[in-house]
C-alpha cells in the first residue's frame, strides 16, 4: 500500500517546526463488509504499523508530499480477499506531543497474482519485442492482462543495472508504458543508441478492483542499430567518350533509398565481372548519382553501389551494370 500525504510545517500555535516531525502510521484491519470511514473521522483503536523518524522523512518526500510504501503479507491477504485496511497518520514533535489524527482512508486489498517470469527482449529494426511466460493467477481469479513499465538507463551503469536496477543511474523514472492482454508486446517508440530497462506486472481482477503483481525481473537492452539499408535499385551507367580537351567518364544513377536514417552511398568498380571491386568515392555520396572520372578509354568496367546508414551499416550491393569506354 502506498500512502501519500503532506507534512505540517507549523505547530498549532503557528510556530515553524524546527525540524521535520516523526511520522506515525496506524493501520486497522476491518471486515470486508464494513463501510469505509468518513473523511476526517478518527480511528482511535488502530495499532501502530510503522514509524518514520524525522531524520529519515526526506527520503520519502517527492514533489512536496510524502510517499510511504507499507508492505503487506500476501498470505494475510489471501485469507480474507476484499478485506478493508484503514489508515491514519499522526506526526510527533516530541514524545509527549502528537498531532491530531489525519483523515482516515480505506482500501480493499486482495492477494496479487504471482510475478511474471522469464521476461526477455529482442531487438528488431522497427521495435523492441518483449515476451514472457504466462503468469498463473490466484485460485478462482483470471489474470486479465499485463502492464509494461519502462525506464532509460545511463549506458555507463548498464553493468550495475544488470545486477541491480535500483543501483543504476536512471535517466527517467520507471513508468507505465502500455498494457497487453497476451504475454508479448512490441515497443515501437524507442530510439537506437539508447539503453532501456523493462519490467512487467500481471494484473488480476476482483469485481471492480484491479490488483497488480510485483515487478518481474528487469530485462535490459542496448538498442544498437545493426540493420543495414536495402540494396539500391535501378542502377544504370551512361558512358561519355573522350573528346578533344575532355576525358571520358561514366555517369552512374540509381533509385533513391527511402530509409529515414540513410547517410549516403558508396560506388564500387571492378574490371572482373561478379567481383565487388574497389570503392571509388572517399566520402559518401548523398545523391543517387556518381561520376567516375577515372575511367580509361578502351576498358570495360563493372559497377555496383551500396547504401550506408548513419550507424555505419552498409547494404548488400546493387545489381551489377557494365560500361565499356570506347577508345580514342
182 forms bridges with which residues in the sheet?
none
> Both 140 and 212 in a single domain?
yes
Q: Are residues 82 and 135 in the same domain?
A: no
61 has which bridge partners? 66
| Residue 95, in any domain of the structure | yes
pLDDT digits (tens, 9 = 90+) for 25-84: 999 887 555 555 555 455 556 788 899 998 898 889 888 899 999 988 877 777 777 888
**Could you tell me if 89 and 130 lie in one domain?**
no
Q: Give the residues across from 318 on adjacent strands.
A: none
**Final residue belonging to a domain, choices 182, 198, 222:** 222
Are 147 and 212 contacting, i.e. CB atoms less than 8 angstroms apart?
yes
46 in a structural domain: yes
Of 165, 143, 138, the closest CA to residue 152 belongs to: 165
Residue 228 belongs to some domain of the structure: no
Q: Where are the beta strands (DSSP E) in 227-312?
A: 236-240, 249-253, 262-270, 278-279, 289-292, 300-309
Q: Is residue 59 part of a domain?
A: yes
Per the domain annotation, does 231 fall within a domain?
Answer: no
Task: Find how far residue 312's CA is from the centre of its chain.
Answer: 24
Is 230 within the bounds of a domain? no
- Would you state the cell numbers that stand for residue 281, as one nine-digit string? 568515392
**DSSP-derived pairing of the beta strands 262-270 and 300-309:** antiparallel
- Within a domain: residue 91? yes
Query: Residue 138 to residues 79, 106, 141, 204, 215: CA-CA distances in angstroms?
Result: 12, 23, 5, 8, 16
Q: What pLDDT shows up at residue 36?
A: 53
Our count of domains for the chain comes to: 3
Indicate the SS3 state at residue 73. coil
pLDDT per residue, tens digit, the chain (328 aa), is 889 999 888 888 888 888 888 999 999 887 555 555 555 455 556 788 899 998 898 889 888 899 999 988 877 777 777 888 899 999 988 777 788 899 999 888 888 888 898 999 999 999 999 999 987 776 667 678 999 999 998 877 777 767 677 777 878 888 999 999 999 999 999 999 898 999 999 998 888 888 888 889 888 888 889 999 999 999 999 999 888 888 899 999 999 999 999 999 999 999 999 999 999 999 999 999 999 999 998 999 999 999 999 999 999 999 999 999 987 7
How far is 158 from 179, CA to CA, in rounded Å?
Answer: 26
The candidate with the shortest Cα–Cα distance to 309, out of 236, 254, 253, 232, is 232
Q: What is the CATH number of the domain that holds 85?
A: 2.60.40
Residue 300's pLDDT is what?
95
Are residues 121 and 199 part of one domain? yes
Q: Are residues 132 and 170 in the same domain?
A: yes
Cβ atoms 280, 269 nearer than 8 A: yes
pLDDT in tens, 173-207: 889 999 999 999 999 999 998 989 999 999 988 88
- How far apart, in Å, do the first and last CA atoms of the chain sit? 89
Same domain, 121 and 99: no
The whole-angstrom separation of Cα 143 and Cα 204 is: 5
Asked which of 74, 109, 144 is the last residue of a domain, the reply is 109
User: 257 and 166 in one domain?
Assistant: no
Q: Which of 93, 109, 125 is the last residue of a domain?
A: 109
What is the CATH number for 249? 2.60.40.10
DSSP helix/strand/coil, 146? strand
Does 127 share its domain with 205?
A: yes
- pLDDT at position 167 is 72
- The whole-model pTM stands at 0.68
Distance CA 258, CA 44 (A): 70
DSSP states along 172-226: S--EEEEEESSSEEEE-S--TT-EEEEEEEEEEEETTEEEE-PPPPPEEEE----
100 within domain boundaries: yes
77 φ/ψ angles, rounded to the nearest 5 degrees: -65, -35
Residue whose entry in the numeric block shows the C-alpha cell 482516515: 104
Domain extent, residue 263, equals 236-324
Verify that 292 and 207 share a domain, yes or no.
no
> Which grid cell sits at 238?
551512361
In this structure, the answer to whether residues 170 and 71 fall within a common structural domain is no
Q: State whether 28 and 96 are in the same domain.
A: yes
Picking from 67, 69, 57, 70, the residue whose alpha carbon sits closest to that of residue 9 is 57
Which one-letter DSSP state was computed for residue 314? B
The answer on 122 and 91 residing in a single domain is no
Amino acid at each position: 500500500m502506498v500512502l501519500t500525504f503532506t507534512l505540517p510545517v507549523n505547530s498549532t500555535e503557528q510556530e515553524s517546526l524546527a525540524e521535520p516531525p516523526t511520522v506515525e502510521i496506524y493501520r486497522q484491519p476491518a471486515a470486508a463488509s464494513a463501510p469505509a470511514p468518513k473523511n476526517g473521522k478518527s480511528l482511535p483503536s488502530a495499532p501502530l504499523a510503522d514509524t518514520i523518524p524525522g531524520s529519515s522523512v526526506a527520503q520519502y518526500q517527492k514533489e512536496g508530499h510524502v510517499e510511504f510504501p507499507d508492505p503487506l503479507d500476501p498470505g494475510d491477504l489471501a485469507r480474507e480477499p476484499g478485506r478493508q485496511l484503514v489508515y491514519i497518520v499522526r506526526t510527533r514533535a516530541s514524545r509527549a506531543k502528537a498531532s491530531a489524527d489525519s483523515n482516515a482512508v480505506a482500501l480493499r486489498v486482495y492477494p496479487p497474482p504471482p510475478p511474471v517470469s522469464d521476461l526477455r527482449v529482442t531487438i528488431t529494426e522497427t521495435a523492441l519485442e518483449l515476451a514472457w511466460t504466462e503468469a498463473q493467477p490466484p485460485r478462482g481469479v483470471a489474470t486479465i492482462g499485463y502492464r509494461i513499465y519502462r525506464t532509460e538507463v545511463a549506458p555507463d551503469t548498464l553493468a550495475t543495472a544488470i545486477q541491480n536496477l535500483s543501483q543504476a543511474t536512471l535517466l527517467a523514472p520507471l513508468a507505465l508504458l502500455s498494457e497487453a492482454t497476451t504475454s508479448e508486446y512490441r515497443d515501437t517508440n524507442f530510439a537506437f543508441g539508447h539503453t532501456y530497462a523493462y519490467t512487467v506486472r500481471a494484473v488480476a481482477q476482483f469485481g471492480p478492483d484491479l490488483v497488480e503483481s510485483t515487478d518481474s525481473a528487469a530485462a535490459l537492452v542496448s538498442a544498437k542499430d545493426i540493420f543495414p539499408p536495402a540494396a539500391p535499385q535501378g542502377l544504370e551507367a551512361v558512358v561519355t567518350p573522350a573528346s578533344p580537351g575532355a576525358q571520358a567518364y561514366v555517369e552512374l544513377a540509381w533509385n533513391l533509398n527511402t530509409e529515414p536514417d540513410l547517410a549516403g552511398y558508396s560506388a564500387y568498380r571492378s574490371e572482373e565481372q561478379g567481383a565487388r571491386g574497389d570503392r571509388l568515392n572517399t566520402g559518401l555520396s548523398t545523391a543517387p548519382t556518381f561520376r567516375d572520372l577515372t575511367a580509361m578509354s578502351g576498358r570495360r568496367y563493372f559497377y555496383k553501389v551500396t547504401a550506408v546508414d548513419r550507424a555505419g551499416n552498409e547494404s548488400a550491393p546493387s545489381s551489377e551494370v557494365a560500361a565499356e569506354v570506347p577508345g580514342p
